[in-house]
Structure 1
């Protein structure tokens, strides 16, 4: 269930910034059709930081309903307050969520002891499976392999999204954790390398626009067919690079609109739409990309 290509799903909005559930239904069907293994709803890419609490719950709930049990849903439940993370996690109990993705507490820079106690307390207050999320570039703290090892001993802490950008972490974590513990990459550009080092898949931004390709890449990699996986990867490698020309999810929403998968590329402040200079760079870089040209609906 939690191996292979997992999409970090965007939250579609209309031109006024309200959640667009018609677009949400469309992109969920797109992922079911293209064999995405699971959906992360309202994570970083889903703009968890700009949705209010009721919207957060409603988007996850509607994602669950619209998926119609055809794809597992993982709810983003991280917070920089332990009590807030517990409250959010408990809200998703007994509604059909498959797991939670819980980011390390951001801004307040906890110690390793603080990180351990944070996730331990969440684990003790829910039966929902928990996937840890380490992304130091955004949170200002780094969940180290030794701490991950201690947390892996809790039955409902089942894995980690490791997005430190340090590939050596995959081997380090794998050596220290319980055998059943799942290790997922968090950077599309190193997804194949992560799986070649023993990782179990990727929580992917690129999958928003290239679900079929990312699903095939993961399937081949997990079957150790890395050469074939890299051939497919070459077709979409530009997107791994340029989806971060501005902070995620600004570029991916712009491309999704160009592909006709969402009606609007609207975001909420402090996030703003893709700048004209970045649009020009993207169009220049992608003008010869066959995958881009094949999927483009409007320029």
Structure 2
């Protein structure tokens, strides 16, 4: 990712990514300083005009403190040809519907539990957290939906849901997913401060979910 709450820094990071060989950039919406909708637009347009690689918007108001509204997203899409997709993490089906109906952006879910509902609206997939633990199952759900096997996709959704829920509700992401990866044999190290490991109770709950899922 090359996002920043400083437009100049976002330009610098995106240029650096291109020079390093990146073929695209994921850019989280500016955080903390809470831009106006015009500010969001000018931020992304400035970066898109400065660096000619595909850009994926990332809208996650739960972390950035302000929603980038659908009209703003569609305006960015219309005026910036190299803005090609959005990772949509508002949890709003209404907002996703507006984006899909009024822009040509590829829409990817940023919430695992909403992947199937968003694909039903016309979304293309997910930037998955659960996919770090059971990538083959996330892929199976998406493939089933894209192949018209709706009932099978629904079955995968319901199987995945408890795991998706724990990944995002037991504690702050990525704390649970790193713990789950360690439990399933892919130790990727501890979280760094200010993040802290799961409590004993949280770890016990996650372990039980993984056991019920069948990966432990």
RMSD (Å), alpha carbons: 1.4
Q: What is the SS of the residue equivalent to 2:163?
A: helix
| Cα pair 2:180 2:206 within 8 Å, conserved | no
Cα deviation, 1:186-218, whole Å, max 9, x if unaligned, reads 110010010011111111111000111111111
Q: In the TM superposition, what is the alpha-carbon distance from 1:273 to its structure 2 partner?
A: 1.1
Partner of 1:248: 173
Partner of 2:120: 196
CA distance change for structure 1 residues 239 and 248 in 2, over 3 Å: closer, same or farther?
same
TM-score, with structure 2 as normaliser:
0.94
- Is residue 2:33 matched to residue 1:108? yes
Q: How does 1:86-235 map to 2 (within 5 A)?
A: 86-153=11-78, 154-178=80-104, 181-235=105-159
Secondary structure of 1:183's aligned partner: strand
Indicate conservation of the 8 Å contact 1:170/1:198, yes or no: no
Distance in 1, Cα, partners of 2:114 & 2:191:
27
Q: Which runs of 5+ in 1 are unaligned?
A: 1-75, 294-299
Q: Which runs of 5+ in 2 are unaligned?
A: none
CA distance, structure 2, for counterparts of residue 284 and residue 256 of structure 1: 14
Name the SS of the counterpart of 2:127 in structure 1: strand
**Contact 2:18–2:24 (CA<8 Å) still a contact in 1?**
no
State the SS of the aligned residue for 1:97.
Answer: coil
Change (3 A) 1:292 1:128: same
TM-score (norm 1): 0.69
What is the deviation of 1:281? 2.3
Q: CA deviation at 1:276?
A: 1.1
Q: Which residue of 1 aligns with 2:214?
A: 291
Give the alignment partner of residue 270 of structure 1, picking from 194, 204, 213: 194
CA contact under 8 A between 1:162 and 1:184: conserved in structure 2?
Answer: yes
What do residues 161-191 of structure 1 show as CA deviations (whole Å, max 9, x unaligned)? 110011122211111113xx21111110010
User: Does the CA-based 8 Å contact 1:100-1:129 persist in structure 2?
Assistant: yes
Distance 1:98 1:234 in 2: 35
CA displacement, residues 99-119 of structure 1 (integer Å, 9 cap, x when unaligned): 111011000010000000000
Q: In 2, distance between residues paired with 1:78 and 1:191?
A: 23
Task: Tell me: higher relative CO, structure 1 or 2? Use CA pairs within 8 A at least 6 residues apart.
Answer: 1
Tell me if 1:239 matches 2:189. no
